[in-house]
Structure 1
Amino acid sequence: MRRAVSTTLFGVALLLLTLGCTDKKEEEWINLFNGKDLEGWVPKITGYPTGENYGNTFRVEDGLLTVSYDKYYRFDNRFGHLFYEKPFSNYLLRIEYRFIGEQVEGGAQWALKNSGVMLHSQDPYTMGEQQDFPISLEAQFLGGLGDGPRPTGNLCTPGTHVEINGELIETHCIDAVAPTYNGEEWVTMDILVRGDQEIAHIIDGDTLIKYQHPVVGGDVVNNILPEAKKDGQALKSGYIALQSESHPIQFRKVMIKELNN
């Protein structure tokens, strides 16, 4: 079961409120990706130690942060994540992404034109070498396949649960009411994060989904170190990580604006 959540003017109002009530510090966007190299980012790919960028999966090409599999023979469940080096708690995140090319051989059907950004993630150095996904909240990026709706901006919850409208949701992926992008066009997504009080995925001022009170719990994470998973722990902050799930993707901007508590 996949649960759909929609709002109307919430996104516009939320962004106006957030951006209109900022001090000088909050008016400053920080570029997490410098357009030249992966300075400040740490790769973690399933089957390899934290810091090893197998197959040069994550790279910069023509000023774009690129996830590529041209050095892979097969994907073989080498799920990867590229973590920014420091955690955040209260912020507005802006990401511009596009899917390109063809899925690498051996990628799952569900991973076709599928990627995302992990929020409130565990520290990459606490992940087991064979662990596939970090404990985190995923703002999912999906590309259309030309055969009907396939909305982007959904929420997936590896090793976590959230509340929506006061109800605990334990479903792994929760559909948003959002656009479908079938081609290789650039998509801009804003994600507003207020600790554990409110998280919203936004495109063009429209809120696709919002949720509250994320906690550690559930599964959909394999080969995790037992000491790293404390069920029931509130997720008020954590790392940001970009995914590699077998389909090439590029990022043009990864920007953050830190907000007051």
Structure 2
Amino acid sequence: MKYFIAVLCTSLMFSSCKEETSSSLFNGKDLSGWHVDVPEMDTIPNTINPFIIRDGMLVSLGTPRGHLITDDIYKDYRLEVEYRFPGEPGNCGVLAHASTPRALYKMFPKSIEVQMQHEDAGDFWVIVEDIEVDNMVERRGPKSEWGITEGKNRRIVNLTDGSEKPLKEWNTMIIECLKDEIKVWVNGDLVNHGFNATVTSGQIALQAEGSEVEFRKINITSIVALSK
């Protein structure tokens, strides 16, 4: 009887979340399901769109700077992104729970950014939203400098070194957003775990932030959290 109860409890623990069918946010042909927010395109004629399709990949050219944002809003999901820097190492990011556009520096939407910058993949950057992690002072700096707006310490350093592949090789980043938690894996390593996020749903955005980045896979899987 005790064995049966133990097995039942284990089964219930692993069935607390149920995954639904995965789908792709990128069809390999065009930007269907996404829209572009690039401030320069508002005022400078003939400004190029920094988000293009090339050889079946979604490419962020890096400039002009801005964001590619999903039309739909998502919550409780696992996002799998395969990306690489094909040229020089640089900066980019995936924004979870994005909402109000241009809320920071008249450029960045309210969100919690998962950093992709070379050698810093998995850092959190809070953008007019916030999240907590273990060892906050060690990983974010003095509490007096924390903040979510311009001039504040918005970076929360990730947990690992060496999780990224060498430059020009493909990386796999998994971002799991469930209730008020966000977990991040890079190439199989758990590199960040945040909780008590101030937001639990929103759009997903990719950045053009100075460096060319290729994306060959952007898949999303909804997670249904079952009541315990």
TM bucket, shorter chain:
0.7 to 0.9
* Aligned mates of 1:96, 1:238 — CA distance in 2: 21
- Mapping of 1:30-45 within 5 angstroms? 30-45=23-38
1:162-201 aligned within 5 A: 162-165=131-134, 170=146, 171-176=153-158, 177-178=160-161, 179-196=163-180, 198-201=181-184
Aligned-pair distance for 1:260? 0.8
What are the superposed Cα offsets for residues 80-139 of structure 1, whole Å, 9 maximum, x if unpaired?
Answer: 11001111110000000011235xxxxxxxxx6110100011154xx47x8211111111
The equivalent of 1:249 in structure 2 is: 213
Distance verdict in 2 for CA 1:30–1:172, change over 3 Å: same
Please give the alpha-carbon distance, in whole angstroms, between the structure 2 residues aligned to 1:82 and 1:47: 14
Equivalence map 1:201-220=2 (5 Å) = 201-215=184-198
What is the distance in 2 between the residues matched to 1:214 and 1:87?
A: 17
Matched-pair contact (CA < 8 Å) for 2:121–2:164: yes
Aligned counterpart for 1:161 among listed residues 121, 126, 130: 130
Query: What does 1:63-212 align with in structure 2 at a 5 Å threshold?
Result: 63-68=56-61, 78-102=64-88, 113-124=90-101, 127=102, 131-143=106-118, 150-165=119-134, 170=146, 171-176=153-158, 177-178=160-161, 179-196=163-180, 198-212=181-195
- Equivalent-residue separation in structure 1 for 2:136 and 2:92 (angstroms): 27
- Which letter does structure 1 place at the counterpart of 2:33? G
CA gap 1:55/1:194 in 2 versus in 1, 3 angstroms: same
Match of 1:9 in 2: none
Runs of 5+ in structure 2 lacking a partner? 1-12, 141-145, 147-152
Question: What secondary structure is seen at the aligned counterpart in 2 of 1:260?
Answer: strand
Query: Which 5+ residue runs of structure 1 have no aligned equivalent?
Result: 1-16, 70-74, 103-111, 144-149, 216-234
Between the aligned partners of 1:202 and 1:245, the Cα distance in structure 2 is 22
Where 1:95 maps in the other structure, the secondary structure is: strand
| 1:53 Cα offset (Å) | 9.7
Which of the two has higher C-alpha Rg? Answer: 2
Question: Once the two structures are aligned, what percentage of the paired residues are identical?
Answer: 32
Is contact 1:155-1:175 (8 Å) kept?
yes
User: What is the root-mean-square deviation of aligned Cα atoms in Å?
Assistant: 2.7
- TM-score w.r.t. length of structure 2: 0.76
Q: Which amino acid aligns with 1:118?
A: L
TM-score (norm 1): 0.67
